[in-house]
Structure 1
Amino acid sequence: ERKAAETGGSHMQRRDAHGVYQLAMLLMELDAEDEASRLLAADALYLLGRLHDAHKSLLVALSRRPQAAPVLARLALLQLRRGFFYDANQLVKKVVQSGDTACLQPTLDIFHQEDRQLLQGHCHSRALAILRTRPGIADCKAHTREAIAYLSLAIFAAGSQASESLLTRARCYGFLGQKKTAMFDFNSVLRAEPDNVQALCGRALVHLALDQPQDAVDDVASALKLSPVTVVPEICSLKPEAQALITQGLYTHCRALLSQLLDARVPLGDKDTQGLLAMGEALIKIDAGQPSWHMLLTDILTAQGSYEEAETHLHKALHPTSLSEAAQARLGLLRLKKGDVPAATQGLQCLAETDTWDLSFLLRLLEASERQSLTQAATQEASSLLDAGQPKQALGYCSLAVLAGGSHACHLRLRASCLAELQQFDRALRDLDCVLQEGLGDSDLPRRAEDFCSRGRLLLSLGDEAGAAGAFTEALKLAPTLAQSSLWEQPGQATIAHLFLCRGQCYLEERRFAEAWTAAESGLLVDPSHGGLKRLKARIRRETSWGCWL
């Protein structure tokens, strides 16, 4: 029978259908009660165009089984074809009430495409009419289930062309809390139409309900690239909590994507910027009062090379008299694009101590030559402020030089000295440790010795006398004369000699003769005439005279 329905030529189709009809009649003569044979005959009559005869045959079958869904569905479709819409509606209603729609797929395969479309349209319209009614709370779920039954019949009738019915049914399942079933319908639509915006939005909401926020954001991002005008109202219609999850997720997604593109060090293509701009503009339409969204759009425009547009947007969106540090930094960056290095340095340094992540991101928007100019200007300004006795004002410029210059040793030293003046000894020590980790050649030994002297002073300020003595010892080994001069200046000859004396005595009490000897020797390099250190050295020699400890 299905072969008869699928045969290409009209003549061949009629011949096959006629053969099926004769076979069905023969089977009915053998067993007049055989329902399958009667349905086979009715289907053959339909294919032969004998709709009235097919209708009569089905009525006989219905009289024997009044609730048989396959019979009801055939009758409904025939009545639709014949224009008897009221009868068709009653029959479809009975099919829905029977709850037996899953078996209808092979039944509907028999009918012509145009007739299945009639049934699909009727069922879909009926479902929408049910959903448009406003029943009481108690009946709301029952109405939704009834609509689902009509939609299921419409989907069976439509086959692969059922996206609207699938979307509506998915929303119904979502309303009933059947999230995974709703997800199945949305996925069915997207398999056939990957760019279906409604399905992407619907699936995003299901992901949210299933506590899968990242998947939800991915779907919304994909939908925004296709049709922002459709997606934005969908997001705005969400509850505040869900809306916040989506918008914050979109912001994070957009930031990460922009960072990846910048890290790739290739110019942004139209496809890249189109998606980023869609997300950035959508966030502003959803909540124009959120400054972070405006910063994001400014960064996207800057990365795109639209500097004038970026600056215009920033001025228009944010109050010029109360710009945040992030906004000032972006204005500074845009000034740098115009060649105004001093203004750029002033704008960007305000982020150097408050939000290094954001500043690092902005620096990636610069060319190598721009970063070099910025580093030089920041270093000069920091040095000038330090010379003027303004370490607090200099710190931002120092940190800007470190970040823009790639943590070069000279910039780290400059910031360490600034931090030391501000008594932020821990931070200063971290900077110096970074410097000392770099490998230096013999020509840089004096500089390295001075670094160890500085490290020792910081450790002394932190109360770590053992660490300080160790750093001073290293300095004296590398460049004795330079280290001696530096230590005499600060913290002073007497202080250093006393430090080494105390450390040497401690080591001696602990029977650590080698460390005690080194402390005494180092102390005498700083103060050759120190009596206490000389006596310590003699005592160590006496106590170790029985064996070779040194």
Structure 2
Amino acid sequence: MLQKKRDAPGVYQLASLLVELDASDEASRILCADALYQLGWVEEAHKFLLVALSKNPQRSPILARLALLQLKKGFLYDGNQLLKEVIKTRDTSCLLPIMDIFKDEDRKLLQTHCHFSALTILTDKQEDADIKEAVAYLSFAIIASGGYAEDSLLVRARCYGHLGQKKTAIFDFNAILKQDPMNVQALSGRGFIYLALKRQKEAVQDFTSALKLEAEVVIPAILSLKHEAQGLITQWLLQHGRTVLTELVATKELSKEETFRDLLMIAGALIKICKDAQYHIFYIDVLIANGKYEEALIHLQEAFGHSLADEFANARLAVLQLKKRNMPVAAHSFSNLAEKDERELGFLLNFLDPKQQQHLSQVAAQEGNVLIKEYRYEKALGYYTLAILSSKDNPRYLRQRAVCLMHLKKYGRALKDMEKVIQKHGCNSLKTRVDDHCSKGHLLLSVSEEETAVKEYIEALQLEESMALCSIMKGPGREILAKTFHKIAQYYFEMHHYEEAWKITDYGLIVDKNSTELKKLKARLKREASGCSIH
């Protein structure tokens, strides 16, 4: 009845009767005090509570009521001391049943007192014990408010974070965001907790939302972190931004204005937080993708100067130059990046339209051919890589790079190129296919994979014998290759794989019909495997 603010006199009479029947009944005495409070008889309520306290000094419901009455009477020190006693009992929930009984102005008084008491503690001391005491005061303030006090919840969440109670901190931040989804302090605060928990996706989502709302508040907060934490969140934001931008550029969905606004916001925040080149590069990429070429060029020159020694910055300049149709200069810049970071170059090429890419691949291949004639293989390699990437793995350029890689003795990479070429054999001429198998075989010999090399040469011979022999003459030569065939055939013979040995011997004699060793091996095969069907 008291909670519903009904018939306080009737409740008082009933409670008084119960006290007369049993003077030790603490619950009836507290009920009397609550009824007297609602009737406005504060002093009488205070006396009832003091009697009850004398019989049970540690009873938190009594201490909490006395604290409220002392604060109402203006005795702030006494009220605070009583609240400290309640905190010692660790029973902050004792306030819950009282809140419906006390008047709104008194609850507000308690809320304000407890909130500022917590702030005073946190200003003066930062030990764990002090923070825990502040948490208790904040809990009183939140209860007094009816369960939602934004300022107190924010401070308590930060306290929980400091104490390592991260999940509890998230609970408080969530309570704020449920009521106010655009609360910047709660978003960034929860983001910091997710950062500490190494939960990248959630942290990035919260920081992005907070930056969109009020970057001037969030950026100083990030800058106040330790260097390691700053580095982690900036890298996470950069990864997120790069992923979104790469997808937009790759799919040519460049009309999403809201997404670009978000990316510009993230990029702008990153260059304010950290001056590293990678963040300026990202900002420039967003400007280019958004068609803001003049702004991109100005920022490029401001961030890197006019010399642009950085390959990544130089490549961005190349993209901007292509917008002005300066193809040779752009090709030169892209070729420098090609051998350093193919993935980065592939991303930048998506800024170009198909015609630009086709023209670029032709210019790059032509320059590579000039350089290879001058024996400048390292320089040529970058141009060939550019030609391959801008042409989406054109087999002709893959072959040219494979030759360049052979000269540089980078046989493993050359092999990968030839494998890609052979995978695209569909509509190539017969001579081209034969030459490709022979080229791959030659590369396999260079890395001592003789058995696989022999299989490639057999493939070429099966396609067209005379063309294959012509290619073999150019390298490694008939005699040398025949010795390899003999070695592998001999191995199969010793393993009693007579059919395979016979096949390799036969093709070896096609390579060099005068090979004495292969002739002898064939004779032995006839003798020792006469019982086998090898013809």
Q: TM-score range by the shorter chain?
A: 0.7 to 0.9
Aligned to 2:366, the other structure's residue is in SS state: helix
Contact 2:395 2:421 in 1 (8 A): yes
* Match 1:240 to one of 210, 213, 227: 227
When residues 177 and 468 of structure 1 are mapped into structure 2, their CA distance, relative to the original with a 3 A threshold, is: closer
Distance in 2 (alpha carbons) for counterparts of 1:503 and 1:91: 96
User: Aligned residue for 1:394?
Assistant: 380
User: Aligned residue for 1:10?
Assistant: none
When residues 80 and 341 of structure 1 are mapped into structure 2, their CA distance, relative to the original with a 3 A threshold, is: same
Between the two proteins, the alignment pairs up a number of residues equal to 532
Which amino acid counterpart does residue 468 of structure 2 have in structure 1? A
CA deviation string 1:462-516 (max 9, x = no partner): 3333333322221111011211222223333443444445544554455444334
When residues 159 and 386 of structure 1 are mapped into structure 2, their CA distance, relative to the original with a 3 A threshold, is: same
TM superposition shift of 1:132 = 2.2
User: Aligned residue for 1:4?
Assistant: 4
Distance in 1 (alpha carbons) for counterparts of 2:136 and 2:514: 104
- The answer to whether residue 54 in structure 2 is matched with residue 62 in structure 1 is no
Distance in 2 (alpha carbons) for counterparts of 1:92 and 1:464: 83
Moved more, 276-285 or 506-515: 506-515
CA deviation string 1:18-50 (max 9, x = no partner): 554454455455445544344434444544xx4
* Match 1:379 to one of 339, 342, 365: 365
User: Aligned residue for 1:449?
Assistant: 434
Distance in 2 (alpha carbons) for counterparts of 1:316 and 1:353: 27
User: Aligned residue for 2:110?
Assistant: 119
Moved more, 88-97 or 150-159: 88-97
Aligned to 1:519, the other structure's residue is in SS state: helix
When residues 117 and 544 of structure 1 are mapped into structure 2, their CA distance, relative to the original with a 3 A threshold, is: same
User: Aligned residue for 1:549?
Assistant: 534
**5 Å matches for 1:443-522?**
444-522=429-507
Moved more, 480-489 or 54-63: 54-63
RMSD after superposition: 3.2
CA deviation string 1:36-80 (max 9, x = no partner): 344434444544xx42x1442232222331544434444544555
Distance in 2 (alpha carbons) for counterparts of 1:100 and 1:506: 86
Distance in 2 (alpha carbons) for counterparts of 1:100 and 1:517: 92
Contact 2:37 2:45 in 1 (8 A): no
Contact 1:333 1:347 in 2 (8 A): no
When residues 143 and 413 of structure 1 are mapped into structure 2, their CA distance, relative to the original with a 3 A threshold, is: same
When residues 260 and 2 of structure 1 are mapped into structure 2, their CA distance, relative to the original with a 3 A threshold, is: farther
Distance in 1 (alpha carbons) for counterparts of 2:253 and 2:512: 60
* Match 2:101 to one of 106, 110, 116: 110
Distance in 2 (alpha carbons) for counterparts of 1:501 and 1:41: 112
Contact 2:360 2:387 in 1 (8 A): yes
- The answer to whether residue 225 in structure 2 is matched with residue 266 in structure 1 is no
Aligned to 1:406, the other structure's residue is in SS state: coil
The TM-score, its normalising length taken from structure 2, stands at 0.87
TM superposition shift of 1:156 = 0.9
- The answer to whether residue 318 in structure 2 is matched with residue 332 in structure 1 is yes
User: Aligned residue for 1:277?
Assistant: 264
- Identity percentage over the alignment? 46
User: Aligned residue for 2:327?
Assistant: 341
* Match 1:101 to one of 92, 98, 115: 92
TM superposition shift of 1:124 = 0.9
When residues 420 and 107 of structure 1 are mapped into structure 2, their CA distance, relative to the original with a 3 A threshold, is: same
Contact 1:379 1:398 in 2 (8 A): yes
Contact 1:4 1:17 in 2 (8 A): no
Following TM superposition, the consecutive aligned residue runs of length 4 or more in structure 1 with deviations greater than 6 angstroms are none
Moved more, 312-321 or 451-460: 312-321
User: Aligned residue for 1:36?
Assistant: 27
- The answer to whether residue 139 in structure 2 is matched with residue 130 in structure 1 is no
User: Aligned residue for 1:307?
Assistant: 293
Aligned to 1:121, the other structure's residue is in SS state: helix
Distance in 1 (alpha carbons) for counterparts of 2:418 and 2:254: 37
User: Aligned residue for 1:291?
Assistant: 277
Aligned to 2:279, the other structure's residue is in SS state: helix
Distance in 2 (alpha carbons) for counterparts of 1:547 and 1:38: 112
Contact 1:469 1:499 in 2 (8 A): yes
Distance in 1 (alpha carbons) for counterparts of 2:215 and 2:46: 51
**5 Å matches for 1:5-24?**
5=5, 16-17=7-8, 19-24=10-15
Distance in 2 (alpha carbons) for counterparts of 1:356 and 1:451: 25
- The answer to whether residue 134 in structure 2 is matched with residue 143 in structure 1 is no
Contact 2:435 2:468 in 1 (8 A): yes
CA deviation string 1:222-257 (max 9, x = no partner): 432332212222222222232223223333333233
Structure 2, unmatched stretches of 5+, are: none
